[in-house]
Structure 1
Amino acid sequence: MKIALIAHDKKKPDMIQFATAYEPILKKHELYATGTTGLRIAEATGLNIHRYQSGPLGGDQEIGAMIAQNQMDMVIFFRDPLTAQPHEPDVTALLRLVDVYSIPLATNMGTAEILIHGLDRGELGWRNLVKEKEGDQ
């Protein structure tokens, strides 16, 4: 499965904690991240992560493009709802695409843990069926 890992600045420590705790599960999958988040996760865990641009420089849009092509299976996006983001329209567009393409999304630690445990139990296998049906696999 292809998993996007994104975190706003104040949520990056939470993402590092999450990736460290679930490194044995995450290492079985293809990981994608926005620039700084991906770098910090890789430094903390040694996970292999394809890094896009930083979110404000277009990384959110790059991940959005993968979603629009049905090439992303899960998005874990630790958002900071209390701090204004200069690229908020990009964030909104990314969240809209996740809904349009029915991509599982977690925006906080609690939901991310539920998704990652479901992934580990094989409960997201339906994503493979969707891709097979659309000829994307």
Structure 2
Amino acid sequence: MNIALVAHDKKKDNIVKFSVKYKSILKNHNLFATGTTGTRIHDVTGLEITRYLSGPLGGDQQIGSLIAYEKLDLVIFLRDPLTSQPHEPDVQALLRLCDVHKLPVATNITTAEILLLSMNKNPDWKAIKAEY
């Protein structure tokens, strides 16, 4: 699977903890992230991650391009719904792209865990997408 990892500033600690907890699963997949998030995850876990620009510099748009070209299987975008800052990635644009391309997306840690565990357990999950 190709998995994108993105997080608003106040959720970066959460995505790092998530990556530590699920390192044994994540290490078997291709990981992509915006710059700061990817660097923080890599520094703590040692996971190989293709890192794009930081969100404010266009990294979210680079992730969006991967979605548009259907190069991703899962997007985990831990967003801060209460205090996100203007410089942070535009979650609405990525959510719209995920919906258009029928791509699973998690915006909170619980959904991220459920999607990662179920998709990892069922490698034929893409057949479900094709039915609807």
Same-fold call, TM > 0.5?
Answer: yes
Secondary structure of the residue aligned to 1:117 is helix
CA contact (8 A) 2:4 2:75 kept: yes
Taking the aligned partners of 2:89 and 2:44, their CA distance within structure 1 comes to 30
Q: Give aligned pairs, total.
A: 130
Letter in 1 for 2:78: F
CA contact (8 A) 1:35 1:55 kept: yes
Taking the aligned partners of 2:21 and 2:15, their CA distance within structure 1 comes to 10
Unaligned stretches of 5+ in structure 1? Answer: 131-137
Q: CA RMSD of the aligned region, Å? A: 2.0
1:33: which partner in 2? 33
Runs of 4 or more, structure 1, over 4 Å off, are none
- The TM-score with structure 2 as length reference comes to 0.91
Taking the aligned partners of 2:45 and 2:84, their CA distance within structure 1 comes to 29
Taking the aligned partners of 1:7 and 1:31, their CA distance within structure 2 comes to 14
Letter in 2 for 1:96: R
1:52: which partner in 2? 52
Taking the aligned partners of 2:35 and 2:72, their CA distance within structure 1 comes to 17
CA contact (8 A) 1:118 1:124 kept: no
**Identity fraction in percent:** 58
1:1-137 aligned within 5 A? 1-87=1-87, 90-122=90-122, 125-126=125-126
Shift of 1:84: 3.6
Taking the aligned partners of 2:72 and 2:32, their CA distance within structure 1 comes to 9
Unaligned stretches of 5+ in structure 2? Answer: none
Letter in 1 for 2:46: G
CA contact (8 A) 1:6 1:77 kept: yes
1:135: which partner in 2? none
